[in-house]
Structures are given as structure tokens and as C-alpha cells.
Amino acid sequence: MPPKVVVADQKATDIEMERDLLSGLNANVVKTDATSERELIQDALDATAIIVDGYAPMSKRVLDELDQLQVIARAGIGVDNIDVDAATANGVSVVNVPDVSFGNVATHTLALLFACIRKIPLYNERVRSGSWDWKAEKPLFSLEGKTLGVVGFGSIARSLVERLEGTGVDVIGYDHSASRSELQKYGVSKVSFDELLQQADFHSIHVPLTESTEHLYDESTFERIKPGAIIVNTARGGIVDEEALYHAIDTGVISMAGLDVLSQEPPEDSPLLSLDEVIFTPHIAWYSEETITQLRQRATEEVNRVLSGNDPLNPVNTLVASS
């Protein structure tokens, strides 16, 4: 029987690309807009493979029901919506596309940082409401001579540092796995997290959401942070305790924040929405038209490799890595 491949990826407005790439397997490729466990189980019950975005809930409950499933392909980097342990226990390969969108994310991070430093959205709103007053959002400070602290030093952080060259910003970095020499290659000084909190004027978050990074920025963090700091988060919303961030902004500990990600997306009743000092974008740091095409193509090619009996290029779980 030909394999059934379910595309649960909101980026795929049609599935012609996936059908073309899997034509050699004579695969039955279907699309679902499921966003709940119940809907996903119903639409993918007899699936051999599933291609997902960051919103399809690949939980243990779902995986236990999909007993024909061989591979989950994440059309992106993060796999926090996939229970990788449950997939491994069920003999399901998990793969992702880790190296496509980091340039876009670095660019978006820089855009949010600059918008916060210069308070561009606030001035834009004032001009539109009839005010033409350079003093309205005082104080503004120069970029030169300030210190950026990058939390995590993977591909996105490295791309960000490259984009900052020539701006006069000093960069320090905290990463428990990257060596001091790796950071030094990019002109970045490796520091502890506490040292970063004490020294950084700007914070850029680039770690995955794990048990150890959830609420890394919490009330105790904001008590130790350099007053007046700016935070930009294009990683995952759960890394920042949003109630603690609200209090830190409300009391002036944090001057501005640029958030592309939130703990709940879309947000419901988040107190941060009431603050002018927070610039939001709707989880678009990864996005460009070129990236959509590449993510869909690469994820589908990984499905093709696994279903053809070959090793994938980007395995996530040990089941695949040891095959």
C-alpha cells in the first residue's frame, strides 16, 4: 500500500510541492488544518509520515494513536510541540530543518533591537496622532559603546553578531556548551549568566525551550539585571516569565522589550499587551517567501529519505541517529 503523508503545516497553502517530491513513492499526500489533538488523530490516523509546523500538537496521546507512523518531519527548527521521547518509544523518527531560517531570525532580532533602542513605534504613533516632538520619548541613548548579551550561541546568535559588525557594540555571550574559543572567533567574550545580567545593556535570547531554560528570565533574574536593559526574544515565549517581565517594565527595571514569541500564541489577556514599552510581532522572525519554500522542500525530502530506507540529514532523536 502506498504511504500516506499528512501535511499539518500552515505554511503549505497547497501541497503540490510535497506531492511532486514524493511522487517516486507513489505517496498519498493530504493536507490537514488540525490544531487540536482530536483533529490531528482523526486526520492522521493511518498516516505513515506527517509534516508539521510549530503548532501541530504531536503529544504522547497523538503518537500513541498513530500506530502506522514512521516519521515526523518538523518544517522548521524547534521541536517543542513534539514529544520526542514518546516518538522514540513508539519507534517514530523525528527530523527537522535546522539551518534555513536563522538568517531571517537574526535580521528580525536586529530590527526589534533597533526599534527598541530608538523607540521607533512610539514615535510613529505620536506623529500619526499629530505630535511632532523629539522630546516625547526621552531618553534615547547611542548604540555605540553599549554591550549586547547573547544568551545561547548557535547559528542565529552568530549570524546576529556578524550583522552587528561596525556598530560599535561590544558583545558578550552565555552558552553552557560553546567553548570560549568558539565565541572568541566572533569577537565575543564568554561570561556566566550572572555576569551577563550585570554587564549587558541589551539582551538577545537564542536558547531552545527546555526544562532548564523555561522562565530563565524570571523575577529573580530581573532583580539581578542591569537597570534600564532592553530584552529581545525571538526564541520561545516560555523562556521569559511574562508576569515578571511586566513587573520589571512597570517598575523601570527593563526599559523596552521586543517580543516575537509569547508563552501563549496568540496571546489572551496578557498584561504585556497594555504596555507601550513592548514591541510585538506575531512569531514571524523566521518568515520570508524564500524560507517557506525551502522549509517545505527540505522537510519533504527528509520524509522521502526515511520512507525510502535511508538515513535523514537532520535526525532529532536517537532512534534515527543510531540507525
Give the SS3 label for residue 17. Answer: helix
Alpha helices in the chain (DSSP H): 16-21, 37-44, 60-65, 84-89, 102-118, 120-128, 155-163, 180-184, 193-199, 219-224, 242-250, 289-307, 318-321
* Annotation says 283 is catalytic: yes
Which candidate in 65, 265, 277, 301 is catalytic?
265
Contact 206, 158 (CB under 8 A): no
Report which of 95, 97, 210, 94 is spatially closest to residue 151, judged by C-alpha positions: 210
- Dihedral sign (CA 283, 288, 294, 296): positive
Which candidate in 203, 206, 236, 296 is catalytic?
236
Give the SS3 label for residue 173. Answer: strand
d(CA 284, CA 292): 11
* Annotation says 206 is catalytic: no
Which candidate in 158, 203, 283, 296 is catalytic?
283
Q: Which three cell numbers stand for residue 294?
A: 525551502
Residue 165 backbone phi and psi in degrees, to 5: -60, 130
d(CA 50, CA 211): 26
Instruction: Establish how many alpha carbons lie within 13 A of residue 35's alpha carbon, considering only the half-sphere containing its beta carbon.
Output: 6
* Annotation says 236 is catalytic: yes
Contacts with 189 (C-beta within 8 Å, 6 or more apart), sequence order? 170, 171, 172, 173, 183
Q: Would you name the residues annotated as active-site residues?
A: 236, 265, 283
